[in-house]
Amino acid sequence: MLKIAEKVVERARVHGAQQAAASAYQVREVSVQWRDGAVEKLTEATTRGVGVELYVDGRYASVSTSDLRADALDTFLADAVAMTRALAPDPFRALPDPALYAGQAAVDLELADPRYADLTAVERRELAEQLEAAARDTPDAARILSVTTSVSDSQSHSWRVHSDGFAGEKSGTSYWLGAEVSVQDPDGRRPEDACYAGARWRGDVPEPQGIGAEAARRTLSRLGSQKPASGQLTLVVDARAAGRVVSSLLGGLSAAGWQQKRSFLEGKLGAQIGNDLLDISDDPLVVRGLGSRRFDGEGIASRPLPLFADGVMKNGFIDTYYGKKLEMPPTTGRLSNLRWRLGSRTRAELLADVGDGILVTGFLGGNANGTTGDFSWGIQGFAIRGGRVAEPIGEANISGNHLTLWPTLLAVGDDPYRYSALRTPTLVFGGVHVAGR
Amino acid sequence: MSTALAAALQYFGRFGVDETLIRTALSAALARGGDRADVYFQHRVAHSLGLEDGAVNRAWSGIELGVGIRVLRGDQTGYGYTEDLSPASVRQAALTAAAIADGPALDRPIPQLVATAIPQRYPAKTPWDQVAASTRLPLLQRVQERAFAADPRVQKVTVHFSDEEGAVLMVDSDGRVAFDEQPMTLIHMSCMAEENGRRESNGGNIAGRAGLEFYTDAKLDKLVQEAVDRTTILFEAVQPPAGEMPVVLGAGSSGILLHEAIGHGLEADFNRKGVSIYADKLGKSIAAPFVTVVDDATPQGARGAINVDDEGNAAGLTTLIHDGVLQTYLHDSISARHYGVAPTGNGRRQSFRHAPLPRMRSTYMQNGPHTPEEIIASVERGIYCGNFANGQVQIGAGDFTFYVKNGWLIENGKLTRPIKDVNLIGNGPKVLEQIDMVGNDLKIDDGGWTCGKDGQSVPVSQGMPTTRVRAMTVGGRG
């Protein structure tokens, strides 16, 4: 596939592109879905394709194809170059400054498990079966309507080649286990919940017993959930759920949003956005990290990037194009992994401090307005009474605005969620609007 | 050989697909004792153009070509796919899928291939492969010019245009062949306006299965006017209220309520597994007698229209709720066989990389006995929902949400002040019971809706007459 990427750049130039950058990829994906004692679905395939960014007479297009036959590829590139010529010129389009390619970290990120090929079809099936058995191993098993489990793994390789000499290769593996459980609520509802866990190396994936049991525990805890009363309450967002709130905040860091003036964080570099507990950086160099990389999608060498320090906005996600438009140096266009300045208290200690409020364990729909920072999301979770988790609640919404939410960040937990590149810990906010009854 | 089969093989022949390859794939698929198998060849060419900061200065295009091979053994599915249509690669993908079974092949030769006749609900008059990029560009420019002309507060306009064409060829182990050419197009515009230092943005889009003829000046101008109006009214919007109150759903895209509150819950895979809140409600009254809800493959040129589903089954109009009584689930072949009923033509998939699942097409509520005016006038204090961004549902618990981008407060039977950006949450069966007025102004929305399930996206449509729900939870702050 490296040869295909090289060939694509070469042919694009022959057809008239002054510059080109190609990425070719090959991914093998295997998954087993298991339901109630039998395999539901087996999927296995190796997928591949190539994408290329074209710079033609000051114009830009980005194209991709999965038809890699030599003749088809050549016709495709000729058509793509012709299409690019029909566009208006764009003086801000260019490959990155080659100086930014230099300085890739010398660290081995260990993103690919060298023993990927060892996992057998029989082992996948056994894991799927064990996940179900663990979910059903509960005194309340009679309430369980159905258990669906999944075992999936993938191995990916990609090659990136630029006409200005950049060449890079990436490979990675991942393994995921999951269990989804449905239970019968005496009132007719059939609440469902799930637990998923994964890692880049098989040896880092937790045992299926814990995952299955957690899925059942979470689902059974939903029985009898009620709509809470409306009000302004202290909100504890658990580590697994907090990604929704955090990714919405980070949406405001996109340079495209700044340049298009559609970002509530536009013009706020150096400004206090949250209180001093808000302290996050982008860290692409986490060994075995889900979002780790040595260079980004443009070939720019990856390095840690402070986003918020003591509540002050330090950087945004600036790619080459919007960096040129904004006359700002590029950082990187995309998030990798987040690194948080963690608190020292556990979730239980945080709940005890809160006394009364709501623990959010999941979100249901909703959205945010990226221009103004307003958000409104459906939630489910539990009431917190006397510092302890009390009855389950659901069919409720929270709403607010990021610019007034983050100054009310009361505490950050010690428990980053391992199964997302956002690595969010438990977050506690004061006085959030909850709409229920 | 029928002409439909000849047309299919002519289309895919240039990629090396012939009857021998199809038979090789199906035989390999059944090599380990699967009951049934099907192959799904797909070719799709997509183009898009973007306008930003005054110029159409970016383009994307993509070609997808490949085959998905599915093997069924009872309710169980084996699936493999490949982008490489060489006989060796296709055979390997079929053998991978065959592993869902683990016995010897049954003695079942593939019969003669017979093409199914299918309707033509979206013939493109000017297909996209005959449209030069230079013909598409003025569409985006017109939208931008109109947007700036519509209101001096508009400061930034972006326009995104996409078109797609291609075909699918499905052949199953009974020798059934279906071939469908599937155009699609969408234009999206968004704008940012400023007033006294405040900024607001909003947008709109229209989509359909059609060629260039889809874009009339009138249609584009309406898109622009609506998007600009929806943006500038946000400067006047007040904080939406919080708590339970009556909700009036405007005609058109409010169909998102049906999609989330009932549509997903009626997809038969969830019922076959017993995990849907509607799993034991067939034949029961679940809504007022003037509530009739359908899922329809037939609206001419609609984004959610299909000529045939992605399993080669006929697709028509399926009545889900008739006069308040639940009639049927939405079936694919697996669930239809499980329930012993005919498939409803709802087996759909994102692409050859995915096995089909029961999915919606164009979901809407039929007209009811009330007028929109009397519905609004009936509400003392509540909200009116105008347009929407997105929604989501929990199939089993029944809780669902939808996000209202623009709406109004209703006070003493009148629309008084605009509201914005508020999520509504309800419980599917409870909300259906609480629909107590249905208008006579059904409108099927022509927006570019996309439905996600199990990691697969498919285009859908939705529609609704003006409708009142007695009480839902509104997630505001006021």
DSSP-assigned states of every residue in A154-166: EEEEEEEEETTS-
B460 — pLDDT class (breaks 50, 70, 90): very high
Nearest by CB: A35 against B60, B64, B273: B273
Contacts of B194 in chain A (CB under 8 A): 261
Closest CA to A29 of A170, A152, A150: A152
Nearest by CB: A364 against B63, B399, B476: B399
**Residue A27, number of CB atoms within 10 A of its CB:** 15
User: Which of B60, B273, B394, B395 is the best substitution to test chain A (most A C-beta atoms within 10 A)?
Assistant: B394
Phi-psi domain of A224 (left: phi exceeds 0; alpha: psi -120 through 50; beta: other): left
Sign of CA dihedral A71, A76, A81, A86: positive
Q: How many angstroms separate the first and last alpha carbons of chain A?
A: 58
Sign of CA dihedral A308, A313, A314, A318: positive
**Do B279 and A88 make contact, defined as CB atoms within 8 angstroms?**
no
**CB-based contact, B84 to chain A, within 8 Å:** yes
pLDDT digits (tens, 9 = 90+) for B153-169: 999 999 999 999 999 99
**CB-based contact, B265 to chain A, within 8 Å:** no
How do B381-393 and B461-464 pair as beta strands? unpaired
DSSP 3-state of A222: coil
Q: DSSP letters along A349-384, please?
A: HHHHHH-SEEEEEEEEEEEE-TTT-EEEEEEEEEEE
User: Which pLDDT value is given to residue B1?
Assistant: 56
**Residues of chain A by 3-state class (helix, strand, coil), percent to 5:** 25, 40, 40
Those residues with Cβ within 8 angstroms of residue A384's Cβ, 6 or more apart along the chain or in another chain: A234, A236, A351, A354, A355, A356, A357, A358, A359, A390
Contacts of A437 in chain B (CB under 8 A): 243-244, 473
**Residue A392, number of CB atoms within 10 A of its CB:** 20
Q: Which residues pair with A142 in a beta bridge?
A: none
pLDDT digits (tens, 9 = 90+) for B347-357: 999 999 999 99
CA-to-CA distance for B460 and B147, rounded, in angstroms? 27
Q: Are B49 and A51 in contact (CB under 8 A)?
A: no
CA-to-CA distance for B277 and B268, rounded, in angstroms? 12
Nearest by CB: B62 against A63, A87, A400: A63
Which amino acid, residue B170? M
**CB-based contact, A70 to chain B, within 8 Å:** no
Exposed (0-12), middle (13-18) or buried (19+): which is A408, by Cβ within 10 Å?
Answer: middle
User: Which of B67, B83, B420 is the best substitution to test chain A (most A C-beta atoms within 10 A)?
Assistant: B83
Query: Which chain A residue has the Cα nearest residue B62?
Result: A64
**220-239 in chain B: CB under 8 A from chain A:** none
The predicted complex's ipTM stands at 0.94
**CB-based contact, A396 to chain B, within 8 Å:** yes
Q: Which domains does chain B have, with CATH numbers?
A: 3-235 (3.30.2290.10), 242-475 (no CATH)
Contacts of A32 in chain B (CB under 8 A): none
Contacts of B79 in chain A (CB under 8 A): 41-45
Which amino acid, residue A190? R
**286-325 in chain A: CB under 8 A from chain B:** 325
CA-to-CA distance for A70 and A24, rounded, in angstroms? 14
Does position B477 have pLDDT exceeding 90, yes or no? no
Return phi, psi of residue A277, to 5°.
-75, -20
User: Which of A73, A81, A83, A233 is the best substitution to test chain B (most B C-beta atoms within 10 A)?
Assistant: A83
CA-to-CA distance for A423 and A417, rounded, in angstroms? 5
CA-to-CA distance for B97 and B84, rounded, in angstroms? 16
**CB-based contact, A91 to chain B, within 8 Å:** no
**Do A261 and B49 make contact, defined as CB atoms within 8 angstroms?**
no
Q: Are B311 and B180 in contact (CB under 8 A)?
A: no
Query: Which chain A residue has the Cα nearest residue B334?
Result: A40
**CB-based contact, B396 to chain A, within 8 Å:** yes
Closest CA to A242 of A430, A399, A416: A416
Query: Which chain B residue has the Cα nearest residue A433?
Result: B477
Alpha helices in A333-387 (DSSP H): 347-354
Query: Which chain B residue has the Cα nearest residue A34?
Result: B76
Contacts of B63 in chain A (CB under 8 A): 64-67, 72, 76
Nearest by CB: B65 against A66, A261, A378: A66
Residue B363 token pair: 């979901």
**CB-based contact, A57 to chain B, within 8 Å:** no
Q: How many residues does chain B have?
A: 478
**303-342 in chain B: CB under 8 A from chain A:** none
**CB-based contact, B426 to chain A, within 8 Å:** yes
Closest CA to A140 of A221, A59, A254, A66: A221
**Do B76 and A39 make contact, defined as CB atoms within 8 angstroms?**
yes
CA-to-CA distance for B28 and B98, rounded, in angstroms? 7
B109 — pLDDT class (breaks 50, 70, 90): confident
Q: Is the pTM of this model over 0.90?
A: yes
Which amino acid, residue A417? Y
Nearest by CB: A42 against B15, B100, B473: B100
Query: Which chain A residue has the Cα nearest residue B85?
Result: A67
**CB-based contact, B477 to chain A, within 8 Å:** yes
Four-CA torsion A266, A268, A273, A279, nearest 10 degrees: 100
Sign of CA dihedral B413, B415, B418, B422: positive
pLDDT digits (tens, 9 = 90+) for A191-231: 999 999 999 999 999 999 999 999 999 999 999 999 999 99
How do A409-412 and A427-435 pair as beta strands? antiparallel
**CB-based contact, A60 to chain B, within 8 Å:** yes
Quick one: DSSP state of residue A406? Answer: G
CA-to-CA distance for A352 and A346, rounded, in angstroms? 10
From A241's Cα to the closest Cα of chain B, the distance in A is 16
Which DSSP helix (H) or strand (E) runs through B433? helix B428-433
Q: Which domains does chain A have, with CATH numbers?
A: 2-26+46-96 (no CATH), 116-220 (3.30.2290.10), 231-245+342-435 (no CATH)
Q: Are A42 and B79 in contact (CB under 8 A)?
A: yes
User: Which pLDDT value is given to residue B133?
Assistant: 84
Count CB pairs under 8 A between chains A and B. Answer: 261
Which amino acid, residue B437? M
DSSP 3-state of B425: strand
Does position B432 have pLDDT exceeding 70, yes or no? yes
CA-to-CA distance for A313 and A324, rounded, in angstroms? 21
Does position B65 have pLDDT exceeding 60, yes or no? yes
User: Which pLDDT value is given to residue B4?
Assistant: 79
Query: Which chain B residue has the Cα nearest residue A26?
Result: B83
Query: Which chain B residue has the Cα nearest residue A68?
Result: B84
User: Which pLDDT value is given to residue B29?
Assistant: 96
CA-to-CA distance for B49 and B131, rounded, in angstroms? 13
Q: Are A94 and A57 in contact (CB under 8 A)?
A: no
Nearest by CB: B76 against A40, A44, A437: A40
Q: Within 13 Å and on the Cβ side, how many CA atoms surround A36?
A: 12
Nearest by CB: B134 against A46, A86, A395: A86
**398-417 in chain A: CB under 8 A from chain B:** 398-400
Contacts of B192 in chain A (CB under 8 A): 260-262, 371
From A315's Cα to the closest Cα of chain B, the distance in A is 22
**Do B353 and A45 make contact, defined as CB atoms within 8 angstroms?**
yes
**Do A378 and B423 make contact, defined as CB atoms within 8 angstroms?**
yes
CA-to-CA distance for A393 and A342, rounded, in angstroms? 28
Q: Are B303 and B448 in contact (CB under 8 A)?
A: yes
Averaged pLDDT, groups of 10, chain A, 437 residues long:
96 98 97 96 95 98 95 96 96 97 95 96 96 98 97 98 97 98 95 97 97 98 96 97 98 98 98 98 98 97 98 98 98 98 97 97 96 97 97 96 98 97 98 95
Closest CA to B167 of B124, B126, B111, B214: B124
Contacts of B242 in chain A (CB under 8 A): 230, 397, 399, 433-435
User: Which of A62, A183, A369 is the best substitution to test chain B (most B C-beta atoms within 10 A)?
Assistant: A369
How do B36-52 and B154-172 pair as beta strands? antiparallel
Contacts of B423 in chain A (CB under 8 A): 365-367, 376-378, 397, 399
**Do B56 and A380 make contact, defined as CB atoms within 8 angstroms?**
no
